[in-house]
Each structure stands twice: as C-alpha cells, then as structure tokens.
Amino acid sequence: MKNLWIKYSYLFTISFFILGIFNIIFAWIGFFCLIMPFVFIIKDKEKTWCKSYCPRSNLFNRVFAKIGLKRSAPKWLVNGIGKRIMLTYFLLNFTMISLSTLMVFLDKRDPVEKVKFLIAFQLPWNIPNLLDVGIMPDWVVHLGFRVYSMMFTTIIIGLLIGFFYKARTWCSICPMGTLSSMALRKQNHSVNLEKGA
C-alpha cells in the first residue's frame, strides 16, 4: 500500500482538481495535504511526508521527468526571498480564508463562489458544479472555493517553476515545507532540552 501510494500519489493531486470541478465540496480534501506534513513530523520526527508521500511533489516529478528546462533555480528564489514571499502569501491567505469563512458562518457576508489566483485575480470561468451533493451551508462552500483557489495558485506556480528549473523547485519555497521544517526544528530543540535537563 505504501509503495503504491508513493508511486501513484500524483493521481491524488490530479483527482483533487478534477473532483473540485464536479463539486467544490471536494476541495475540503486539500486539508489532508495541509495536515499530513505535521502528522509525520510528530510521528517520525522527520519530514517523511516531503521525502516520500507528498502527492504534489510526486506530480512534479512525473510531469517533468521528460519535459522542462531543468536549469538550476536562481539563489534568490530558493534561498530566502522566494521562501519568504510564499510563506507570507500563505499566512496572509490563510488568515483571510479563516476570517472570511467566519464572517460567512456568522451570516455577516456572502460566500465568494469563485476561484481566484493569488487571492486577487478571479478566473474568468465558473466551477460547473456537475455533481449535486445536496445543499451545503454557505460557509462550507466558501471554504471549499478558498482552499481550491489556494491549491490552484500554488500548483500553477509549482508547475511554472518546475518547467523552467528542476522538477521539485517548488519544494524549496513551499510554505508547507517551510512550516514543517520550522516545526521539526522546534520539536528537536524541545527534545534536546529534555535530554539536557
């Protein structure tokens, strides 16, 4: 099972985007990819998710196995600024998503039922909603669109830089990779303190 996942997990990423077209409620699956890096850090005390299981990096490896320019990425992109820009984008987006979902939940604003690129740029087409899964609360739909937008934005950036540079260049600036490295450092620091106590 583990080997099957490692081999075919790219299908998970593709399915995420296809299922979202059928019904945006499936975008909630995206939380799986947001949570799993930290689950493995707690469980294994290392970045097992990034090393083996991540369906997104698996997709990049697959797509760019035979295509792409395979250049080395510029240092500014992978060594600092790029990482900080993406982390800032993620934290800002996450805060906006949380607050706007809360406002929709409290009935203080309407849900935004559009996919956006980089928070601001609305795509010129609507999700067709081909599969009826019943009436969902507005906040559930809103959150689905926001998670789908975040995943859509990051996969497009990842594919673009994966084409121009090496396949997994995205991993150098991925907010989940950055945050899980920080969590791992904190965990190791706590363990070292306990050992020294």
> Does 174 engage in binding with ligand SF4 (CB under 6 A)?
yes
Question: What DSSP assignment string belongs to 21-65?
Answer: HH-GGGGGGHHHHHHHHHHHHHHHSS-HIIIII-HHHHHHHHHTT
Among the listed residues 94, 93, 83, the one whose alpha carbon sits nearest the alpha carbon of residue 161: 83
The rounded distance, in Å, linking the Cα atoms of 126 and 165 is 31
Residue from the set 50, 73, 86, 161 that interacts with ligand SF4 by CB under 6 A: 50
The rounded distance, in Å, linking the Cα atoms of 53 and 9 is 7
Could you tell me which residues come within 8 angstroms of residue 31 by beta carbon, excluding any fewer than 6 positions away? 147
Q: Which is closer to ligand SF4, CB of 34 or CB of 136?
A: 34
The region of 51-59, 77-85, 96-104, 137-145 touching ligand SF4 under the rule CB under 6 A is: 51-59
Could you tell me which residues come within 8 angstroms of residue 55 by beta carbon, excluding any fewer than 6 positions away? 9, 10, 11, 12, 13, 33
Q: Which residue of this chain has its Cβ atom nearest to ligand SF4 in the complex?
A: 177
User: What is the smallest separation between the CB atom of 129 and ligand SF4, expressed in angstroms?
Assistant: 28
Helix (H, G, I), strand (E, B) or coil at 196: helix
User: What is the smallest separation between the CB atom of 153 and ligand SF4, expressed in angstroms?
Assistant: 13
Per-residue string for binding with ligand SF4, 56-95, x by CB under 6 A?
Answer: xx--------------------------------------
Per-residue string for binding with ligand SF4, 6-25, x by CB under 6 A?
Answer: --------------------
Q: Enumerate binding residues for ligand SF4 (CB under 6 A).
A: 37, 50, 54, 56-57, 170-171, 174, 176-177
